[in-house]
Amino acid sequence: MIGNLKPLEIVLIIAVILLLFGAKKLPDMARSLGKSARILKSEAKAMKKDDAEPAAPTTETVADQTPPQSTAARTIQAAPGDVTSSRPVSEAKPTTQS
């Protein structure tokens, strides 16, 4: 579909985008889109890494029903060049809906 666009149509699309968003906001939008892509990529890598690790076999008994408590939070590292987006990730808590 994009391969069928003529040069005049591409220029017209770019002009409309500039009119809608303005020349000042486009660099900020591109920067935030790049940050979002880096965060998504690092999250996907972390999920693949978590899935690749084999689960340790557990031998729980009926008497030991207390869940293991981990106090250390897992931190997802930022992509190279983006040191501001690394953040701690907490475990998901179940929510109840009324």
Q: What is the DSSP string of 21-88?
A: H-TTHHHHHHHHHHHHHHHHHHHHHHHHHHHHSPPPP----SS--PPP---PPEEEPPPTT-GGG-EE
| pLDDT, tens digit (0-9, with 9 covering 90-100), for 54-65 | 655 555 555 555
Percent of the chain with pLDDT over 90: 24
pLDDT of residue 55: 58
pLDDT per position as a tens digit, 34-91: 999 999 999 999 998 887 776 555 555 555 555 555 555 666 666 666 655 555 555 5
| pLDDT, average across residues 16-31 | 88
